[in-house]
Amino acid sequence: MATGDMAELEARYGPNFRWLVAAAGVTGTISMVLSATIVNVAVPSAMGAFGVGQDQAQWMATAFIATMVASQLLAAWFIDALGERLTYTVIAAVFLFGSWLCYLSPTMDILILGRVIQGIPAGIIQPLMMSVIYRAFPPEKRGLAMGIYSTGLMMSPMLGPVAGGYIIDELSWRHIFLFPLPFCAAALALGFFFLPGAWKVRYLPRFDWSSYILLVAAVFLLLTALSNGQRYGWSSNYVLTLFFLALIVGGWFIHLQLRSAAPLLDFSLFNNAQFSAAVIVYFVFGMGNFASNYIIPVFVQEVQNFSATLSGLVLLPAGIMVVCLVSFMGRLTDL
C-alpha cells in the first residue's frame, strides 16, 4: 500500500477510513469463506439430486477447500500485478461467476468446477485483506483490527451451515449458492471506495509457476487417493498409484523449494521452533474444525433424520465460542 494512497484516503474520508477498510475486509471474507461450510448441510440433497454417492458428493466441500488453500499463494503476485483495489474487484467478480455456475449446475462435475472457481477468490482474499488491514492501522491498533477481521473469518464457517440449512428447508439446496451474493455486492462497493490502488495493471512480476503446478498436482493426487480409498479399496492398485504419485510430485516440489533462491514456500521458517509449533497447532485445529463441520451435518441428517436447519444449528454453539475467543485474543496482542 503506497503512502500516497493512504494519505489520499485519509484526506478524503478522515482518520476513521481505516475502519471502513476493515469493514470491506470482513464483508468480503464472510461472503466468500462461508461458502466453505454452507454446502455441508446440502450434501445429502445433492446426492439425491445427482444420484451420486458420498465419495463423489464430498468433492463439493473438498474441491473448494483445496483450491482455497492453494490459491493463497497467488495473493502476493496479484497484489504486485494489479494492486489491492483491482485485485479485490477481480476476485469478487470471479466469485460471483462461480456462485452462479454452482446454482445452475446440471451435473455434479459442473458443480465441482463451480466450487473450484469459488475457491480461488476465497483463498486470495484472506492474505490480501490481512495485508491491507495490517498496513492501514497503526501498531497500537493492529491487534484489535486483526481480531475483528479474524472474528469475521471465524464467523463464516459458523454462519454457513445455519444459513444453508434454513435455505434448504425453505427453498432448495441450489439457493445456498445465491446467499453470499448480497454480501459480495456490498463488499464490492466498499472495496471500490475505500481500498487503495489504481485501476490499472502495474506490471507482471515473476512467479514460480512450475513449482506452483507441482504443489497443486500433489494436493490433487493426495485428495483423490483419500477420497477413493473407500470406493476402490485402500490396497487397490489405483489408490496406491495415486499415493505414490502424490509422494513423488510432492517430494519434487520440496526439492525445488530447498534449492531455489526465491522459494514459493520458505521451508527454512520451520527451523524456528515457535513457528513450527504454531503451524502444528493451526493444522490440528483446522483438521478438526473442517472435518467436524463436514461430517456432523451429514451424520445427523443421514443417520438421525435431522432437518437441514437443525443440522446447521448443531454446529452453532462451538462456532460462537470460537468467535468470542478470537476477538478476545486480538485484544491481548495489543497489551
C-alpha span between 307 and 312 (Å, rounded):
9
8 is a domain residue: yes
> pLDDT tens digits for 255-292?
888 887 778 777 888 888 888 888 898 888 778 877 88
Task: Please report the pLDDT score of residue 39 as a whole number.
Answer: 87
Q: Is 97 exposed, middle or buried (0-12, 13-18, 19+ CB in 10 A)?
A: middle
Q: How many domains does the chain have?
A: 1
- Cα–Cα distance, 223 to 240 (Å, whole number): 12
Quick check: is 13 in a domain?
yes
Interatomic CA distance for residues 271 and 320, integer angstroms: 35
At residue 335, the pLDDT reads 57
Residues 228-238 have pLDDT tens digits of 787 788 888 88
**Domain for residue 245, yes or no?**
no
- Residue 64 belongs to what domain range? 3-207+307-332
User: Where is average pLDDT lowest: 79-88, 108-117, 196-205?
Assistant: 196-205
Sign of CA dihedral 12, 75, 328, 335: negative
Cell of 320: 460462537
Mean local confidence (pLDDT), 188-199: 75
Residue at 72 is within a domain: yes
Greater confidence (201 vs 46) lies with 46
39, 64 Cβ separation under 8 angstroms:
yes
Residue 328 included in any domain = yes
Q: What is the pLDDT of residue 2?
A: 44
- The pLDDT of residue 334 is 54
pLDDT band (50, 70, 90) for residue 98 = very high
Least confident of 152-156, 217-221, 306-310: 152-156
Question: Hey, what's the torsion of the CAs at 94, 99, 105, 110, to 10 degrees?
Answer: 50
Q: What is the CATH number of the domain that holds 195?
A: 1.20.1250.20
* pLDDT per position as a tens digit, 53-73: 877 888 888 889 889 888 888
Residue 296 within a domain? no
Contacts 24+ apart (CB under 8 A), 98-102: 99/35, 99/177, 99/178, 99/180, 99/181, 99/184, 100/177, 102/174, 102/177
The better pLDDT of the pair 126, 326 is held by 126
Q: Are 176 and 165 in contact (CB under 8 A)?
A: no
Asked whether residue 76 is assigned to any structural domain, the reply reads: yes
Task: Quote the mean pLDDT of the chain.
Answer: 82
According to the model, what pLDDT value does residue 245 have? 94
The pLDDT of residue 20 is above 60: yes
Give the per-residue pLDDT at 1. Answer: 43
> pLDDT of 213-229, one tens digit each?
998 899 889 888 887 78
